[in-house]
Amino acid sequence: MTIDVLHPLAHSLTKAEKRYCRLMAQKHLYRVLMQSLRQFEGGKWIDVQIGQLLHDSQILYERGLTQPSQEQLDRARQQRPAPAS
Report yes or no: 42 and 49 within 8 Å, Cβ to Cβ.
yes
Average pLDDT, integer, range 7-28: 89
Q: Please state, rounded to an integer, the average pLDDT across all residues of the chain.
A: 86
Q: How confident is the model over 53-84, as pLDDT tens digits?
A: 999 999 999 999 999 999 999 999 998 765 55
Name the phi and psi angles at 68, rounded to 5.
-60, -35
Higher-scoring residue by pLDDT: 12, 42: 12
pTM of the model: 0.51
Average pLDDT, integer, range 17-38: 88
Looking at residue 54, its pLDDT comes to: 93
Could you give the residue ranges of the DSSP H alpha helices within the chain? 3-11, 15-42, 46-62, 66-78
Q: How far does Cα 40 stand from its chain's mean position?
A: 10
Looking at residue 48, its pLDDT comes to: 81
